[in-house]
Structure 1
Amino acid sequence: MTPGDNGASTPEDDDPFGYLYADGQARGAQPPSGGGYGYPNSVSRVRAVGERQYAQPQAPYGQQQSTVPQQGAYGQPNAHYQAPETLPGGASTGRQSMPPAGGGGGRRGPNTKGLLIGAIAVVAAVVIGIGVAMINGNTDDKSGNQADASPAQSQSGKPSPSNSASAPSGELPKTDASALQLVGGATKATDLPGARAAGGTYVGGLSTVGASVTWTVDIPEDGAYTLLARYNNPGEDQSMTLTVNGQKYGSGFNFANFTHQSNPKLAWTESFAYPTLNKGSNSISLSCVPGDKCDVLLDQLWLKKGKVGRN
């Protein structure tokens, strides 16, 4: 090709910016107005469907034009959109339904049958446990009743003497005279008020020779003790024989009229002696022998540790 004017430009020699230069303006180049590039007889190039951009503003010179297609207004169809089913080999227009969850023929609820079986098993276990506990409880009760019904080995088959008294822990015994062993003319009576024994019962008839009362008592340790007696004597002083473990003790037990009352209702008083006792069982007797003065009413007897008197 020789230099010079070769006439109208060919498509491959199109210069879209020819209108900016003097030679392009001489050839009649015009700014683009929606069609070709501004040259006379410019060729409109064919583009593939969806490639051409509609109503896209031209970017200024030197800037890259955006290739992102504009979105249509919400709810309006996009001019560049083509449905897949309109293209060759496009997706099927039929709507495929999703299989139900769980792989069954339809939606299935919770496994109520399994829950019911589990609940029945729990109830059965509770009922069985209660039955076993009741059976064991009845067995224990029966064994306990049988143990209670049999007498303890430490218990004696013989009744303890009524005149053997037991005292609370730390205290020495005390007894009513009417609960003692009575011999001879010694008898129980309740005619005179003022006795402290149970039921107001005291012992009379001691003035008869051979009459006596005997007290069998347990002592925690050997030593001297005070034997106290409550009695009634409205007359002259009296004295009876005191025997400890079969041995006569001293000159006798003094039953003096310490109240100096002649009225029997007011003549209740106390006296004491100091016998020596052994650890364990001891026998204490008050008896009326020839030469004694025994006209008294005997109410109660008790012991104190050591020689302490009536206080």
Structure 2
Amino acid sequence: MTPGNNGASTPEDDDPFGYLYADGQANGAQPPSGGYGYPNSVNRVRAVGTRQYGQQGGGPAAQIPQQQGTYGQPNPHYAAPETLPGGGAATTHSPQPSHGGGGRGRGPNTKGLLIGAIAVVAAVVIGIGVAMIGGDEDKGDGNQADASPTQGQTSEPSPSASESGKTEADLPEIEAKALRLEGGPVTASDIKGAKSDGGVYVAGFNKVGAKVVWTVSGIEKADTYRFYVRYGIPGVDANATVVVNGEAQTRPLNMENFGKQPEGDWEKGWQTTWANVNLTKGTNTIELVCNQGNQCNANLDQFWLTEEDGS
């Protein structure tokens, strides 16, 4: 190539876009026939604003109609680009499932889980409450207060040996007609209310030296027991001395008018009292004696023994 005639002589003349500048045009730069200098490329260079949808490239710019009409209503002269030939393809959007709550996805069923947890807790609490109530009832069965009369007390009507829940395996008991009588007492049955067989009781005990003797056999162990006496009085207090295996107790057997019965009424005066006695294993002798200083105006009906706790 020769200078000035064959090819560009300056670096800017090598610019494929030199035809776009004034100095390039002055130097004779021409747009490339292949489009931007690339082989087989399509020449799409056009002035800004000359492209129209639905027309092939390079045509004259169509007049854009002025939009008219009421707001919110479609313009009859307007067509969406995707509906025109050569326009952009319509974009298809997959419908999103509606879950409510402003388009947010449904989370885990926390309400159901909460209800289930509450039900489990309630069941546990109920089970514990039932277990505690059952335990309290069991404790109550084993810790009932002793309803047996204490020494010097009585209950009315007075319990007999059979009424106290005794069985053949329980401690010994005896009725009036089986007692040994010494010093003047006798048996009688004219006053109603005695629990012994046939309504028999011991009378005539109201004299110094009067004595009833009970020989007790079958005591399995040496221990302290309760000696119960069912007696009848005419509405006035009485007492007597308890002698165990020949040893008199310092505290007399109290036969008070606990029922507050009217004086002189023997039939309504039947009551029960008891005293603690120390017995040895095997056979023992228990005596009830009217000694000097005792008030012995009482009839005697039944004697029986229980454990010290009254059972």
Instruction: Give the TM-score category using the shorter length.
Output: 0.3 to 0.5
Which structure's CA Rg is the greater one? 1
More relative contact order, 1 or 2 (CA 8 Å, 6+ apart):
2
